[in-house]
Amino acid sequence: MAYPGSSRSVSSAPHAPWRIPDPWSAPDPWPAPEPWFTPDPWFLQPPYAWAGYPVEHPLTFPVVDAWRHVPHAWRQAPAHAGGPERITERPPRAHHIDWHARYPNDIILHGPTDRKAIALTFDDGPDDVWTPQILRILAQYQVKATFFCVGQRVQQSPRVLQQIYREGHVVGNHSWSHPNLTRLSPAEVRAEVERTSDEIQRLLGVRPYLFRPPYGALSDEVIREVVAMGYKIVFWNVDSLDWAGLTGPQVAANVLAHAGPGAIVLMHSAGGTGEGREPTVQSLPYIIVTLRRFGYTFVTVPELTGIPAYQPQAPG
């Protein structure tokens, strides 16, 4: 049947029993928002076909939220002052392995591989557009994750940061302005890290112990500075590439092809102007449901590795 005002049609025949969502056979996800976007009624109807969910098991939050009629650019966070996600700033994965081998006590690449546990991590937030949608999905599936937050965005979206913490997720440090730290002086590196932790501590009353460098870019000098400030550096061993222009199904396929016991998965919970995170939102339910089907549990980085989430509080 066709819905009024829509060029799409959805079958009204009864749906099969609950199945693992299959985004490859689902209709295209929602289009890029246009100025003064008017929701197509197709998006508001079950079976939420963009993610392959039958009407017997819908998501508990609407596919199109109340923000969708607001011009997208008005809501999206500005680009990182230090630069957006881009391939030219990222070292090869082999460098991560090398750094972990050289500093095994200071740099985490993955968790123990003797149990089927995976840590989902989200960089670059919080923001008021994509982070709340990701939090809804995580709440729906009762998954706890680790969010590496950028100080400038913490300052811009304090309530979202507080929601992350209140809902039981772990908050880590991802620098103040998202620069390539290897291009900064030691004093500038310290300022990027400590200013972010100061702001997080002001809002939450806890100071992060976990730090993730923007782009995964490190040098011996940066490592020494970060470790001297009392942080543990967290890399990843599965990059979703949700920042690289992939579609939702491609992001899901990439994660599922590489995730295994002890994996730390890199995803993103925010993007600057022109950096949509639809693929992250679209792929996340499928990733969770599929990995759970194969016996995996989802934990935070501290739960996966046995290290603390926050620095000890000073007495008094």
Q: What are the catalytic residues?
A: 123, 268
Task: Find out whether 41 and 3 touch, Cβ atoms under 8 Å.
Answer: yes
User: Which residues, 6+ apart, have CB-to-CB distance to 231 below 8 Å?
Assistant: 173, 193, 208, 209, 210, 211
State the Cα–Cα distance between residues 173 and 191, nearest whole angstrom: 12
Neighbours of 287 (CB within 10 A): 29
* Nearest residue to 77 (alpha-carbon basis) of 147, 192, 156, 133: 156
Neighbours of 244 (CB within 10 A): 15
* Beta strand pairing call for 117-123 and 107-108: unpaired
* Helical pair 158-166 and 186-204, crossing angle rounded to 10 deg: 70
By CB atoms closer than 10 A (0-12, 13-18, 19+), residue 246 is middle
Which one-letter amino acid corresponds to residue 273?
Answer: T
Q: Three-state SS across 56-105?
A: CCCCCCCCCCHHHHCCHHHHCCCCCCCCCCCHHHCCCHHHHHHHHHHCCC
208 beta partners: 310
DSSP secondary structure code for residue 312 in this structure: P
